[in-house]
A and B are shown apart, each in its own frame.
Chain A
Amino acid sequence: MDLTTVATITQARTRADLAALGETVVPLAGGSELFADPRIHLTGLVDLQTMGWPALTTGADGLEIAATCTLAELSRMPAEPGWVAHPIFHLACTALFGSFKVWNVATVGGNLCTSLPAGPMICLTAALDAEVLIWHADGTDSRMPALDFVTGNTTNVLEPGDVLRSIHVPAATLTARTAYRKIALSPLGRSGAVLIGRLDTDGRFVLTVTGGTVRPVQLRYPSLPDPAALAADIAGLDAWFTDAHGAADWRRAMSGLLGEEIRQELAAPTDPPRPGTGDGSRA
């Protein structure tokens, strides 16, 4: 929709151009979230797409995802040798409520900064122990775990003027096995729960629980836990919430169910044939 209070667009080319940001001037990436709400407090936007950040950069230390990388780009990213986790990128994109046409504009950074419980890039980056790079308004930089970036339902650590610059996925987790589950109140509906499990090459198991909780939460184990321990730990989480996409008690139960499925999938000696043809790896 038209953002009728927005009077200026700054097409940022250098970091200095970001000085325009503030309480009423916010970063614009894909626009799919910003333009979906009247946001009458806004007076201006700073376009990050004109910064020209390379969407995806791979190196020996892992994968650097620019905040402005679109979901379409991420989902099409070719695998590097040894990236056992590679299919999780596309799978996580399929958990976006928005259509494939939204993937063409929506960005990884935008999804994180919107900080919705169902934001699939939040689950993805947290599950891979990614680190986010924040450009602060005062010119300093900081890095923090993606897991801690989102603090609640639509809240995060960013202060006015801050910009999420990029997300770094370490090489180690790219070689891990992953398993993904999502459930909603309808077959392809907005997520009620999204979980990603990761089994590292050294046997460590990390389960990231999102969608049903107001912020991503993680359970970490030195090795695959037994079903009872995992179920108890999931049931013991306390950030469940109710909205139009599911009641809190159902979300907690579904997370327990899906968490156990993930545990079983990763406990199997080899990956089962990767499912998800319905989500179209060829799209």
Chain B
Amino acid sequence: MKLTVNGNPIDAPAAAGQALRTYLRQQEHFEVKKGCDTGDCGACSVLVDGTPVHSCIYPAYRAEGREVTTATGIGGPETLAPIQQRFIDAAGFQCGFCTPGMIVTASTIQEHQLDDLPRLLKGNLCRCTGYRAIDDAIRDRHTPADGGCGHDHEHTAAGAADAATPDSAAGSAPVAAPISGLGPVRRTKPRTTARTSATDGRVGGSLRAPAAARVVSGQEPYTLDVAVPGLLHLAVLRSPHAHARVLSLDDTAARALPGVRAVLSAADSPATLYSSARHESRLDDPDDSLVLDSVMRHRGQRVAAVVADSVAIAEHACRLLEVDYELLPAVFDPAEALRPGAPLVHGEKDATISRLADPSRNLVAELHGEYGDVTAALATAHTVVTGTWQTQRVAHTQLETHATIGWLEDERLVLRTSSQVPFLVQKEISRIFDLDLEAVRVFTARVGGGFGGKQEILTEDIVTLAVLKTGRPVQYEFTRTDELAASPTRHPMRVGVTLAATGDGRLTALTVDVLSDTGSYGNHAPGVMFHGTSESVALYNVPNKRVDAQAVYTNNPPSGAFRGYGLGQVIYGIECALDELAVELGLNPFDIRRINSVRPGDPLVVTHQEGDDIGFASYGLDQCLDLAQAALIRGNGVAAPTGATWRVGEGMASAMIATTPPRGHFSQATITLDQNGRYLVRVGTAEFGNGTTTVHTQIAATVLNTGPDRIEIRQSDTDAAGYDTGAFGSAGVVVAGKAVHGAALELAGLLREKAARLTGIAAGDFVLAADGLRAGDVFVPLAALSGPDGLTGTGREDGARRSLAFNVHAFRVAVNTATGEVRMLQSIQTADAGFVMNPEQCRGQIEGGVAQAIGTALYEELILDGAGTVETRVLRNYHIPQLADLPVTEVYFADTADDLGPYGAKSMSESPYNPVAPALANAVRDALGIRSYELPMSRDRLWRLMNRGA
């Protein structure tokens, strides 16, 4: 088949049923990404003779004789087209995996079509940004985060945009009144330098991602964007049963299939138990998993794997495997799982060896503790509110699915994988397979989103087994259905909350009762349960507190780590209860929080006073409350829809988070000056859209007083950088960034000392500049100091001391009582991020977290059939927010500086998620006068709430 791609002729055959997407990738056009493979996400968008199509659903053979244009054809890294430059200028991406497809689609949109942008972009999904920046890029404008005027965002008519008359139940035409854009972000503490610009690269400025030009042109490689000679492919046979024992597996027919290189089953699996979850301490998670087990505990668990010359052959061979199962009784409800006589998911496990609370009760972990005397406080309270809230199962839906390529190199195992924790993967893989740590190298390319989902070993273990078995390079790539139907999700939680207060609104008792469904495996079950009930409870000064929490096995697919790590679920319950209390007492919801929130000097109490590793190294909750309330009072000019069925309400919620995970988070970074006067930063943490690479560049540029163009970052490679616990717990800035800062400081000191030795001038008299060191009239060029091997500074951080960050979210909404539609008229988030290292990037993290949380609050739900089968298996049935679904969120930063974080910065990547769902629920409550107790607040649920008995 002959065609041209980006003007270059190609002559290569296409398989009969091949999609254009995989054909193009076979031709090493890796800029064509897979996000869904079903035509829903747009990451694979290309032009065929100028017409935009989703190449994953476009038959490859139809491209014969045609001209295909990919993002790279629109412009290369050195020859960017204006639309690509606009995506850079507007910071219109984070992980960047959706960006090439987004660019292709955007390239076809004419100016006169901009009013129609929500519809035109509904087939391009971004999970990171929340779309405001993408909207800016397409509209050719820039909304600075550090001051400047706002813009109108026409797409903010979330809930509108469908064809019907303005007062239709189906939603009106887009709201004509433009929303006011972002107000100026409040500056953080006064800086020593004057205003910093985006290009000078210093901390406090909005430097663009170093990879930006490659990302927007599709030339930044992700995990699978590499051609490996002799690559084999792995496919997995997944269990059709929620609970079953494999009695026998006949692979005769599968092995006989030409092109099959290996069939792997439980007999081939190491006997070492482990957890897919990864933490600094491997003891944090129960050892309850095997690479291949003979007991199936959820539908979709691996039964066996086939390694073959192609994905098609491997999948075909999987279908030829004959498996005989003994069906076992199963349990799907976590409350039922705790009852005596319930089927046991891991009944055969040893509680001590696997670190389980009680496998004979399906209990993975539990927490029961009391501070003060709750019973007495309840008995004497002026007002008591109580309620039980239920959260749903939510999927990360990072655009890049899990994937690993493994091979042997000089008798070492090398894993190129989509992971947030390459060093932890290295440690655990070496343990499972009994390999020396040095015999395993794990690295990542740029990671296409994670949100906690890649703090797990989901592909690396089976690829390792396949590589060791075949001696050949092996690739395993998840499908989107693998992600949605069989991979860890956010833990669904039932959260019971009781609050007692005095008549003037002072809390006297707080109890939380949490039941967490961890599904078939206990990965992250204890951590999510403990973290979920920690800062959520500690946020309030209450003399009497009780926490009861249980994390329970069921035969549902496993739950795992997800942005916020349990806090989002528990905060939803507590903040809704607190809102209800404010209603009961006739108090303003901001005021009840001002009365009761912890402030510096207060003890942090969950069930006992927290240790001295955590404390207020800065405090900005007061400002966050003030800023959010002021913005809500100020309004934004968006009128509520008219009509008898619309009700308007306001709501807010707070959230607190520790800036670093407990019990240590380590990073060791180095910076080396080379002979060309360039700096090489080696740091172990991974870039997955969190922007740490940008911030690390800024830190190094600031300390070394040089330009970002002189700094190169080499990261997330166990061979190329010092140990780093990993990119989770929002540690990229406050831990790894601190290590980079330390390395830069040490290197700067070494440079001054060396210059002093050369010149006899005191080291302290030297000032660093981009090309050398200066002391008065004396100038020492960098080249004179680097030496032949370069000069290296090293920095370390252990995360032993932790601070606290705050977020407050507020909404004004209109709710249609006839349909259940929620329209977000104003969305405000205020953040106490300490010193803001990169305002536009930090705002992007907040906007993205808010977008994911709105998805949780209104749209997203993995629906199970009650027997362990996920029914929402493709993106068209699992609705993540698209452009039309989201308002523009006003983002304001508190003016604080932290004593612990680098330059006074605090983490700000998980926490923006946490207050959003309760804020929205409280606004809906205010509008309707009826409280909803479950997520998502989908239109049908809210309609039912309003029409009970109808």
Pick the residue among B57, B878, B940 that contacts A247 (CB under 8 A).
Answer: B940
Evaluate whether A101 and B160 lie within 8 angstroms (CB atoms) in the complex, with A4-B311, A272-B165 already known.
Answer: no
Q: Which segment, of A127-135, A181-189, A213-221, faces chain B?
A: A181-189
Q: Are A105 and B173 in contact (CB under 8 A)?
A: no
B124 at the interface (CB under 8 A from A): yes
Pick the residue among B61, B121, B157, B944 that contacts A250 (CB under 8 A).
Answer: B944
CA distance A112 to B913 in the complex (A): 41
Q: Are A275 and B173 in contact (CB under 8 A)?
A: yes
Q: Are B819 and A257 in contact (CB under 8 A)?
A: yes
Pick the residue among A8, A104, A249, A279 that contacts B944 (CB under 8 A).
Answer: A249
Pick the residue among A33, A183, A188 that contacts B161 (CB under 8 A).
Answer: A188
Q: Are B161 and A97 in contact (CB under 8 A)?
A: no
Residue of A nearest to B38 (CB): A36
Q: Are A258 and B863 in contact (CB under 8 A)?
A: no
Q: Among residues 51 to 90 in chain B, which have CB atoms less than 8 Å away from a CB atom of chain A?
A: 51-54, 56-59, 61-62
Q: B163-183: contact bitstring with A at CB < 8 Å (1 yes, 0 no)?
A: 111101111111000000000
Evaluate whether A1 and B38 lie within 8 angstroms (CB atoms) in the complex, with A275-B173, A278-B118 already known.
Answer: yes
List, in ascending order, chain A residues with CB within 8 A of B158's CB: 187
A28 at the interface (CB under 8 A from B): yes
List, in ascending order, chain A residues with CB within 8 A of B609's CB: none
Evaluate whether A2 and B861 lie within 8 angstroms (CB atoms) in the complex, with A182-B170, A187-B885 already known.
Answer: no
Q: Among residues 183 to 212 in chain A, which have CB atoms less than 8 Å away from a CB atom of chain B?
A: 183-190, 192
B409 at the interface (CB under 8 A from A): no
Q: Are B115 and A280 in contact (CB under 8 A)?
A: yes
Q: Among residues 469 to 520 in chain B, which have CB atoms less than 8 Å away from a CB atom of chain A?
A: 479
List, in ascending order, chain A residues with CB within 8 A of B938's CB: 185
Pick the residue among B159, B170, B820, B881 that contacts A181 (CB under 8 A).
Answer: B170
Q: Are A244 and B861 in contact (CB under 8 A)?
A: yes
Q: Are A280 and B169 in contact (CB under 8 A)?
A: no
Pick the residue among B57, B113, B171 that contacts A183 (CB under 8 A).
Answer: B171
Q: Are B57 and A32 in contact (CB under 8 A)?
A: yes
Q: Are B52 and A104 in contact (CB under 8 A)?
A: yes
A148 at the interface (CB under 8 A from B): no
Residue of B nearest to A249 (CB): B944
Q: Among residues 925 to 950 in chain B, which have CB atoms less than 8 Å away from a CB atom of chain A?
A: 938-940, 943-944, 947, 950
A98 at the interface (CB under 8 A from B): yes
- New A-B pairs, 10, CB < 8 Å, besides A9-B59, A104-B53: A5-B312, A35-B19, A100-B52, A105-B53, A186-B881, A261-B164, A261-B165, A275-B165, A275-B173, A278-B157
Q: Which segment, of B268-276, B622-630, B869-877, faces chain A?
A: B869-877
Q: Can you spell out 20 A-B residue pairs with CB atoms less than 8 angstroms apart?
A: A1-B56, A2-B18, A4-B311, A8-B16, A35-B58, A36-B57, A44-B16, A94-B162, A101-B45, A183-B162, A254-B169, A275-B166, A277-B173, A278-B118, A278-B160, A278-B161, A278-B163, A278-B174, A280-B116, A283-B113
Kindly provide the distance from the CB of A203 to the nearest chain B CB, expressed in whole angstroms: 22
State the interface size on chain A (CB cutoff 8 A).
67
CA distance A2 to B15 in the complex (A): 9
* Most chain A Cβ neighbours within 10 Å, of B165, B871, B884, B938: B165
B401 at the interface (CB under 8 A from A): no
List, in ascending order, chain A residues with CB within 8 A of B876's CB: 97, 190
Q: Are A276 and B940 in contact (CB under 8 A)?
A: no
List, in ascending order, chain B residues with CB within 8 A of A172's CB: none
Pick the residue among B37, B120, B165 that contacts A1 (CB under 8 A).
Answer: B37
A241 at the interface (CB under 8 A from B): no
A55 at the interface (CB under 8 A from B): no
List, in ascending order, chain B residues with CB within 8 A of A102's CB: 39, 54, 57, 123
State the interface size on chain B (CB cutoff 8 A).
82
A117 at the interface (CB under 8 A from B): no
Q: A1-20: contact bitstring with B at CB < 8 Å (1 yes, 0 no)?
A: 11111111100000000000
Q: Among residues 238 to 256 in chain A, which have CB atoms less than 8 Å away from a CB atom of chain B?
A: 243-247, 249-251, 253-254
Pick the residue among A28, A182, A257 that contacts B162 (CB under 8 A).
Answer: A182
Q: Are A99 and B54 in contact (CB under 8 A)?
A: yes
B845 at the interface (CB under 8 A from A): no
CA distance A51 to B434 in the complex (A): 61
Residue of B nearest to A72 (CB): B51
CA distance A71 to B443 in the complex (A): 45
A69 at the interface (CB under 8 A from B): no
Q: Are A247 and B123 in contact (CB under 8 A)?
A: no
Evaluate whether A3 and B17 lie within 8 angstroms (CB atoms) in the complex, with A101-B54, A275-B163, A277-B115 already known.
Answer: yes
CA distance A173 to B269 in the complex (A): 66
B319 at the interface (CB under 8 A from A): yes
Q: Are B39 and A98 in contact (CB under 8 A)?
A: yes
Q: Are A31 and B57 in contact (CB under 8 A)?
A: yes
* Most chain A Cβ neighbours within 10 Å, of B119, B818, B863: B119
Pick the residue among A184, A246, A261, A278 that contacts B169 (CB under 8 A).
Answer: A261
Pick the residue among A33, A94, A282 that contacts B112 (CB under 8 A).
Answer: A282
List, in ascending order, chain A residues with CB within 8 A of B139's CB: none
List, in ascending order, chain A residues with CB within 8 A of B947's CB: 253
Residue of B nearest to A254 (CB): B819
Residue of B nearest to A183 (CB): B170
CA distance A158 to B885 in the complex (A): 38
CA distance A261 to B878 in the complex (A): 29
A167 at the interface (CB under 8 A from B): no
List, in ascending order, chain A residues with CB within 8 A of B164's CB: 180-182, 261, 275-276
List, in ascending order, chain B residues with CB within 8 A of A278's CB: 115-116, 118-119, 157, 160-163, 173-174
Q: Are B19 and A100 in contact (CB under 8 A)?
A: no
Q: A78-118: contact bitstring with B at CB < 8 Å (1 yes, 0 no)?
A: 00000000000001001001111110110000000000000
Q: Are A250 and B943 in contact (CB under 8 A)?
A: yes
